[in-house]
Amino acid sequence: MKIEEVILFQIDQTNKIAKQYSQKEFDRLGFGITVDQWVLLKLIDESEALSQKELAAKSFRDPASITRSLDILEKKDLITRMNVSGNRRSYSIHLSVQGMKFVAKNMELINAQRAKSIEGFTHDETSKLLSMLLKLQKNLK
């Protein structure tokens, strides 16, 4: 079997192409953040409060790279870190007011990028694809 016929290879290629496309759009639109930083903002937005460890697990990234990204997002005033009572080494991460505005302001553009990625797919096809990808992920855990 040729490498181009391997499902995992094609998924990896698709991920790289999608990330490159999104980053070019982010840069063109002047977002001032990376795709990975956007993912963190969106995960924080969708949660009440997350620790860095929880954020790393949800984003499938290592804690060290999460720390660097959070430092950048905090400097841009998009997130805040709040101490967790009783634990001086842990904090919960929240969107700042500026971060909430940033996410809300850019969701329409993000949704347009997402829509472009599935142009030509029927609703049934996207549902089946999502189901298959989740099954693949489950198989590999």
Single-letter code of the amino acid located at 117: S
> In degrees, to the nearest 5, what angle opens at C-alpha 30 toward C-alphas 65 and 107?
80
- Tell me if the domain spanning 9-113 has CATH number 1.10.10.10: yes
With a cut of 90, say whether residue 90 has pLDDT above it: no
Per-residue pLDDT band for 133 (boundaries 50, 70, 90) equals very high
Could you report the per-residue pLDDT of 35-76, keeping only the tens digit for each?
A: 999 999 999 999 988 888 899 999 999 988 999 999 999 999
| Residues comprising the chain, all counted | 141
**In the chain, domain spans:** 9-113
For residue 94, the SS3 value is strand
Say what the pTM is: 0.89
- 141 pLDDT more than 80: yes
